Amino acid sequence: MSVPGLLVAAPRSSSGKTTVTLALMRALARRGLSVRGAKCGPDYIDPAFHRAATGHPSFNLDSFAMPEPMLDAVAALAATNADLVVAEGSMGLFDGIVAAEGRTGANADIAARYGWPVILVLDVSGAAQSAAALALGCRAYDPRIRIAGVVLNKVASPRHRRLVEAGLSRIGMPVLGALMRDASLVLPERHLGLVQARETNDLEARLDRLADLAEAGLDLDAILAAAAGTAPSPGQGRLAPPPGQRIAIASDAAFSFLYPHMEAGWRSAGADLVAFSPLADEPPPSDCDACWLPGGYPELHAERLAQARGFLDGLRAFARDRPVHGECGGYMVLGESLEDAAGVTHPMAGLLPVATSYKARRLHLGYRVATLLADGVLGPAGTRLVGHEFHYASERSAAPTDETGLAAVTDAEGVPLGLAGHRRGQTTGSFFHLIG
């Protein structure tokens, strides 16, 4: 059976996509539908909220970072045992890199590839009829996609809604519902985006309130009727190979940013994934043959991690004869030291020659296309990998060399960025999160 989908997108960031997506997911799930989530682009926080809203895993879909066979394989995962896929966009509907059509990383690529109509979220605060001009531009910009209708967000009053709808009526754009301006709907945030789902207090109550608002303010029947397109059938494409047969994965409030499709790919290849908690002072299990430290928020837990002797000593022992890889936050913990926001320097594992600082904050954001310098757990020398970097930490130590670096990297458009990450023995790490 083909599984239809919808893409919830917006003309720009901070329009309310996540609010509308979660409200829609939870409301439809409460109706008894098997709803599955997806997230366009390199985001590792929103899929956890999707999972909380639907009760099922949510997967990232990235038209730039994922080779097409992988993209289709992940889309098939997203649609497994589903009645409907609800995908959430990132940034604006057409925002991406300059690349060949269909490979830009924009939300619109995903809608076009799988035939999913777009539910366009319009933040109408500070606008009335002019919101229709924005919707009209989105409808006309890309002939590959179809906008099924709009959801109005941050509506100030009934009169405000009538004025906005008057403009949308003029261009023949269906209004599929509206949410009033309500500061209590905003989910808590921190420096990398939303506070993680596992840390959000009263999340279930928040999701149920969003579902109540969707029932009251959105035309759920019309939205369901608009769903169309289809995802690939299971078994098509390929997923990422595992770094070992039995993989120890750090998992707690400090280490949580591992893309769901990576875990799914490892499991589909027959690997066993074994979670452990550095914050609970747990070492990587000794019966594993590889260790993976995902990204997260070690900078918020640096003192506790520095005092976790069982974890640090166990990690060092593990690394003597088995591969260890760290991404972003995991990379910071594999280094010599981590300076927190208050300027206090905490010793870390000392497995890589890098010192990082969260006090010296500078935004690092963007795709990274990496070519490995040497054989390792990520592949043989010369392997091309694509990942994404999003952090505020800085490296305070010497830059990597050909002998110590992990990879030569470029940005998404091929501009060289030098060497990134480090390697020492079988221990590797970098600030970019691997996607494809």
Kindly list the catalytic residues: 328
Question: What CA–CA distance (Å, rounded) separates 284 from 311?
Answer: 7
Separation of alpha carbons 26 and 199, rounded Å: 19
d(CA 326, CA 430): 7
**Residue type for 236, please?**
Q
Structure tokens at 5: 């989908």
| Interatomic CA distance for residues 312 and 317, integer angstroms | 9
Decide: residue 78, CB within 10 A, 0-12 exposed, 13-18 middle, 19+ buried.
Answer: buried
Residue 125 contacts residue 14 (beta carbons within 8 Å): no
The CA distance from 36 to 87, in Å, is 8
Instruction: Give the C-alpha separation, 196 to 67, whole Å.
Output: 28
The dihedral region occupied by 11, where left means phi > 0, alpha psi between -120 and 50, and beta the remainder, is alpha
Residues forming a β-bridge with 147 = 118
Tell me how far the alpha carbon of residue 219 is from its chain's centroid: 28
Place of tokens 């890309």: 142
